[in-house]
Amino acid sequence: MSNLIRRDPFDDLLRGFFVRPVDMTAGIQGEAPQMRVDVKEDESAYQVHAELPGIKKEDIHVHIDGPVVSISAERKQEKEVKEGERVLRTERYFGKVSRSFQLGQEIDEGKSSAKFNDGVLELSLPKKAPEQAKRLTID
């Protein structure tokens, strides 16, 4: 006698999906999210938009060094666990994120401006006028 059983692989997939227990205590900690940045250029300036959701503007720092722009931010964890309450899962990232990139031309730091609205940092970075080469006269 043959003991062959016919199985449907799709049925096995669904059974495994719905039957597996879910570990609600496992969190995704330590994975820093990428700071998403858009950079646009026109003839006189660069426009930078950086997504920083959930971060307060006081915790954002922008540093300009010639053509290099560095953005750093910190999302601080608010430990607000009430008595009798326990955390089942934490996936939100708390900590520092940073991003540096080099633009094609030096930035005029004195004319640069920054706005932060709805989790998006907007930088207006005017280009520095290129210095004209000086012709040296010979005596």
Q: What is the pLDDT of residue 9?
A: 60
Q: Is the pLDDT of residue 5 over 80?
A: no
The full set of domains in the chain, from first to last, is: 31-78+90-126 (2.60.40.790)
| pLDDT tens per residue, range 6-21 | 666 655 555 554 444 4
Question: Do 71 and 112 meet the contact criterion of CB atoms below 8 Å apart?
Answer: no
- List beta partners, residue 126: 45
Higher pLDDT: 71 or 19? It is 71
Q: CA distances (Å), 57 to each of 49, 94, 99, in order? A: 14, 15, 16
Q: What is the pLDDT of residue 10?
A: 57
Q: Using CA atoms, how far apart are residues 68 and 120, in angstroms rounded to an integer? A: 20
Q: CA distances (Å), 31 to each of 5, 27, 60, 94, in order? A: 45, 10, 19, 9
| pLDDT tens per residue, range 87-121 | 788 777 788 999 999 999 999 999 999 999 999 99
Residues in the chain: 139
Q: Is the pLDDT of residue 139 over 70?
A: yes
The sign of the CA dihedral 58, 61, 62, 63 is positive
Question: Do 52 and 121 meet the contact criterion of CB atoms below 8 Å apart?
Answer: yes
| pLDDT tens per residue, range 24-60 | 444 444 556 788 999 999 999 999 999 998 899 999 9
Q: What is the pLDDT of residue 87?
A: 78
Task: For residues 61-82, give the mean pLDDT.
Answer: 88
**Residue labelled with tokens 């000086």:** 134
